[in-house]
Chain A
Amino acid sequence: MTDTATALLTIEDLNVWRGEAHILHGVSFDVPRGQVTALLGRNGVGKTTTLLALMGLLPGSGSASMSGQELVNGETHLNSRLGIGYVPEDREVFSTLTVSENLRLAERPGAEHRYGLVYELFPDLAIRPDQEAGTLSGGQQQMLALARALLNPNELLLVDEPTKGLAPIIIEGVVEALVKATSETTVLLVEQNLTVAGDLATAAVVLDQGSVVYTGGMQALAGDRALTGRYLGVEVR
């Protein structure tokens, strides 16, 4: 159905349990190279679980292969070194470390460290290198989490709800930075905010109760009121 020749990441029959709960029921989809793919769905349908399984942070069965490398049940640090930048749902910046220490920690040995790029995208970070990350605002923490993932030239970015809990004015800045940052990189973006997803993504995958219910274009999805109403519970203006 989908053209696997241009897919950077191919997920097939991914099943994940968290304790007793069967969260993902045979999820399969492709993430096309060089594009932003939005992973959508209501709360608790398994979007974050998908990213955690791709990072090797949750065990699962099935397959997720990036350029021929298997990610499911991989060791997290090895998955990361394949060229995956991960921006977790709650930012998870190291709050007791300074901004510059957070970035230094993210430096992958042997890779180019693009401080010029991240400071250009997030000038807020450049002016407070010695501030403890725990004392940053929510928006600044999100910038730091993104900067950590953008510091190394990654093949794939897994970005989990970058606008969650941020004020609208801050969201604009984050989206603007994301647009610039993701213009060349392949991204799998989890996002509750359909407007933001529409601004960033070209492809979309919708999950419902741990299964894929839609794959296709982001525009087509946003235009389908019945679909967005049923699976996302939102009206698109």
Chain B
Amino acid sequence: MSSLILNASTALGLAGLYFLLASGLSLIFGLMNVLNLAHGAFFAIGGYAAWWVMDTLEIVSSLGLRFVIAVAVAALAGLVVGALVERGLVAKLYGKHLEQILLTIGLSYVFVALLGGWFTYDPRLMTQPAWFGTTTEIFGANIPNNRLLVLAVAVVALVGLLVFLNRTRHGLIIRAGVENAPMVRALGIDVGRSFTIVFALGGLLAGVGGGLAAVYFNGVSPSLGTAQLIFAFIVVVIGGLGSVPGTAVAAVLVAFTQVFANNYLATGLGSISVVVLLALVLLVRPQGLLGRAGT
């Protein structure tokens, strides 16, 4: 029983990371039809930003406070990089799918190389508040606190994102744009601004995710994002393109499938099981769990 709960907590933590990475991807694809293959780089940049703050900001002696600053810096780094990539590069290529894919694949390599050149390719261990390394007893299982942390932040991000999408005018424009961007334009709205906002927002979420991944995996390396990106894409497809609640549900499904297959079937079966899950969903519901048919 306690191992079940432990594995569930591991899966929920991983689901949190997947959600933070995949929600931005899903909105970017849903609104702009851009497959942002550089999204993993935003994740890695967030990871390094957080690591760097933890490593160098010794002026803040409280590691807990330093970590809050680290996540804020990771969020900011993701936001700025996301906005710059959209304004400077992607904005020139809307409607040109092949060029977008070439651009974003290229960017993902460039960012990995930059991070590797700057910080070396060796994994860097993350300085962490002591509390993250200890456990909390829940239903008789000792749950690592870093799992709880990732999960809590992901839930806050989910709620924040839903509030933004459902309660603000920008959110309204984004939801409408996901469905029919030309009609939004025909109502006199400059959808291009929303494109930048969504890219920046996706970058912010991925940056936070990267910062938390540095805790979850106890360190960072330049390939941090690339390794997770493929699972994030699977989450996006299973959840339904452009659907934030769908992304949340799919993140949990994929993470549980992966963790439980690894632990209860055979080690190494986790990734294959996720692909099987993807195939099953595509067979039964090609538009994804909460996606709309025909989009």
Interface hits, B178-193 → A, CB 8 Å: 179-180, 182-191
List B contacts of A97 (CB < 8 A): 172, 175-176, 179
A81 interface residue per 8 A CB criterion: yes
Does A185 have its Cβ within 8 Å of any Cβ on chain B? no
Q: Are A80 and B172 in contact (CB under 8 A)?
A: no
Contact A77 B176 (CB under 8 A): no
Interface string of A147-187 (1 = CB under 8 A from B): 01000100000000000000000000000000000000000
Contact in complex: A106, B187 (CB < 8 Å): yes
How many angstroms between the C-alpha atoms of A152 and B188 in the bound complex?
A: 11
Interface flag for A105 (CB, 8 Å) = yes
In the complex, whether A228 has a CB less than 8 A from a CB of chain B is no
B182 contacts across to A, CB distance below 8 A: 57, 76
Give the chain A neighbours of B180 by CB distance below 8 A. 92, 94
Chain A residue nearest to B192 in the complex (CB): A77
**Is A29 engaged at the interface, CB distance under 8 Å to the other chain?**
no
Q: Is A105 a contact of B172 with CB atoms below 8 Å?
A: yes
Q: Does A95 contact B (CB under 8 A)?
A: yes
Once A96-B292, A97-B172 are accepted as A-B contacts, the answer to whether A105 and B187 lie under 8 Å apart by CB is yes
B interface size (C-beta, 8 A): 18
Q: Hey, which chain B residues are within 8 Å of A81, CB to CB?
A: 188
Q: Mark A13-53, 1 if CB is under 8 A from B, else 0.
A: 00000000000000000000000000000000000000000
Interface string of A180-201 (1 = CB under 8 A from B): 0000000000000000000000
A88 in the interface (beta carbon within 8 A): yes
Give the Cβ gap from A16 to chain B, nearest Cβ, in Å. Answer: 16
Would A148 and B179 be within 8 Å (CB), given that A105-B172, A105-B173 are in contact? no
CB contact list, A100-117 vs B, under 8 A? 101, 104-106, 108
Point out the residues of chain B lying under 8 angstroms from A88, CB to CB: 183, 186
- Which A residues are in CB contact (< 8 Å) with B191? 77
Q: Which residues in A have their C-beta under 8 angstroms from that of B190?
A: 77
Total interface residues on A, CB under 8 Å, equals 22
From A96, which residue of chain B is reached at the shortest CB distance?
B179
- Closest residue of chain A to B183 (Cβ to Cβ) is A92
- Report the number of A-B residue pairs with Cβ-Cβ less than 8 Å: 57
A108 touches B186 (CB 8 A): no
CB atoms of A77 and B175 under 8 A apart: no
**Is the pair B176, A55 in contact by a Cβ cutoff of 8 Å?**
no
Choice from A76, A94, A96, A101 contacting B185 with Cβ under 8 Å: A76
Interchain CB contact under 8 A, B175 and A96: yes
A80 and B176 form a contact (CB under 8 A): no
Chain A residues within an 8 Å CB radius of B292: 95-96
Q: How far is the CB of B242 from chain A (nearest CB, A)?
A: 9
Check B179 against A80 for contact (C-beta < 8 Å): no
Residues 142-182 of B at the A interface (beta carbon under 8 Å): 169, 172-173, 175-176, 179-180, 182
CB distance from A67 to the nearest CB of B (A): 16
Quick one: closest A residue to B292, CB to CB? A96
Asked if residues B189 and A105 are in contact (CB atoms below 8 Å), the reply is yes
Residues in A with CB closer than 8 Å to B175 are 94, 96-97, 101
Question: What is the distance, in angstroms, from B72's C-beta to the closest C-beta of chain A?
Answer: 32
Q: Which residues of A contact B186 (CB under 8 A)?
A: 55, 57, 76-77, 80, 86, 88
When the two chains form their complex, are residues A148 and B187 in contact, meaning their CB atoms are under 8 A apart? yes
Task: Give Cα A88 to B110, complex, Å.
Answer: 44
* Chain B residues whose C-beta falls within 8 Å of the C-beta of A148 in the assembled complex: 187
Contact B188 A80 (CB under 8 A): yes
Supposing A101-B172, A104-B172, A105-B172 touch, asked if A94 and B188 sit within 8 A by C-beta, the answer is no
Interface centre among A75, A92, A152 (most CB of B within 10 A): A92
Residues of B within 8 A of A (CB): 169, 172-173, 175-176, 179-180, 182-191, 292
Closest 7 CB pairs of A and B: A80-B188, A76-B185, A86-B186, A81-B188, A94-B176, A92-B183, A77-B185
* 13 contacts across the A-B interface (CB closer than 8 A): A75-B185, A76-B182, A77-B185, A77-B190, A81-B188, A88-B186, A94-B179, A96-B179, A97-B179, A104-B172, A105-B172, A105-B173, A108-B187
